């Protein structure tokens, strides 16, 4: 698994260099993408969504707003 981790880190480093991001800026972009993904209910079929899914979506949506400064 360590080889996969090293490859991911290398790819992210390349992305940061190619996009003129600092590593800190890239880390914030990754966190925002993760929060967006975790707050997206569209990936869960509507007929199997539970109240737990909605609570998770609300929690991650609030975190995303805080991170963005909304």
Give the CA diameter of the chain. Answer: 43
- Tokens representing residue 65 in the block: 């707003």
Domain of residue 67: give its range.
Answer: 22-70
27 found inside a domain: yes
pTM: 0.67
Q: Which residue has the tokens 């805080």?
A: 66
DSSP classification of residue 44:
S
17 found inside a domain: no
- Tokens representing residue 28 in the block: 């914030």
Per the structure, how many domains does the chain have? 1
34 found inside a domain: yes
Report whether 61 contacts 53 (CB < 8 A). Answer: no
Predicted pLDDT of residue 17: 87
61 found inside a domain: yes
7 found inside a domain: no
Query: What are the pLDDT digits (tens) for 2-36?
Result: 689 899 888 888 888 888 888 888 888 888 999 99
70 found inside a domain: yes
Predicted pLDDT of residue 45: 94
- Tokens representing residue 24 in the block: 């800190």
DSSP classification of residue 68:
H
């Amino acid at each position: 698994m360590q080889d996969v981790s090293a490859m991911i880190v290398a790819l992210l480093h390349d992305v940061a260099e190619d996009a003129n991001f600092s590593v800190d800026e890239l880390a914030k972009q990754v966190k925002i993408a993760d929060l967006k993904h975790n707050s997206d209910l569209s990936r869960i079929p509507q007929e199997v969504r539970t109240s737990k899914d909605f609570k998770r979506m609300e929690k991650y949506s609030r975190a995303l707003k805080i991170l963005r400064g909304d």
